[in-house]
Structure 1
Amino acid sequence: MPLTPQEKGVRLAIRLTPKASKNGFGAVEQTADGGAQVKAYVTTVPEDGKANKSLIKLLSKALKIPASQISVASGQTNRNKQILFDGAPDELMRRLGHWIEDLTP
């Protein structure tokens, strides 16, 4: 599972592909270190944080969570990112868990 509960929220592991043909999400994929991450695609170029902003907007819309509660915790200039969702960890784990299940074919 690409989710990790934190003291004041939840971290989500994402592999972002910028300059894609369309915005969206793919399935969960296994990483080389045995972890998991959600594939995400944005049409924006990876300049000046534009792709990260597009990713946050996309996550906000898909999960109906305010963008102000979503941030890039690590991986600002890397395809592999840790996204932090601020809020109650139990509620976020449930909500994000259901969303990830829906992504899995």
Structure 2
Amino acid sequence: MACWRTTADGVEVTVRVTPKGGRDAVDGVTALSDGREVLKVRVRAAPEDGAATKAVIKLVAAAAGVSPSRVALASGATARVKVLRIDGDPDALGAALAAKAGA
């Protein structure tokens, strides 16, 4: 999928976050206005003091089947569109994310 790409030691996934979304969930893959594909996620946490980013990291880690300590924010600390780096086997991570995203 275009919303994540493999790296030497894992994957980088681009997510679009909806904070205060009522529930923590992966809502699939969507396209931004510039054509980029992103993994659409929503979290209950408010975007205050990094709470929403921490919730996104936990949610994406669960979706990928890894511990949150293996997920790091690569860019977008205060933006709705974030890039997360997940350490692990790229093929397994890609398959887990594809299954969770409904691809």
Q: Can you give the 5+ residue segments of structure 1 that lack an aligned partner in the other structure?
A: none
The SS at the match of 1:56 is: helix
The SS at the match of 1:47 is: coil
What is the Cα deviation at residue 94 of structure 1?
2.6
Residue equivalent to 2:57: 56
CA-to-aligned-CA distance 1:20-52 (integer Å, 9 cap, x gap): 111112121112332201111111111111101
What is the Cα deviation at residue 93 of structure 1?
2.1
What is the Cα deviation at residue 55 of structure 1?
0.9
Check whether the contact 2:26–2:100 (CA below 8 A) recurs between aligned residues: no
Query: Aligned letter for 1:48?
Result: D
Does residue 47 of structure 1 match 2:48?
Answer: yes
Residue equivalent to 2:9: 8
Aligned ranges 1:79-98 → 2 under 5 Å: 79-98=80-99
For the structure 1 residues 76 and 96, does the alpha-carbon distance in structure 2 shift closer, same or farther, using more than 3 Å as the test? same
What is the Cα deviation at residue 64 of structure 1?
2.4
The CA RMSD measured in Å over matched residues stands at 1.5
Q: TM-score, normalised by structure 1?
A: 0.85
Name the count of aligned residue pairs: 102
With 12-21 and 25-34 compared, the bigger mean Cα shift is at: 25-34
With 23-32 and 8-17 compared, the bigger mean Cα shift is at: 23-32
Quick one: distance in 2 between partners of 1:90 and 1:54? 24
What is the Cα deviation at residue 63 of structure 1?
3.1
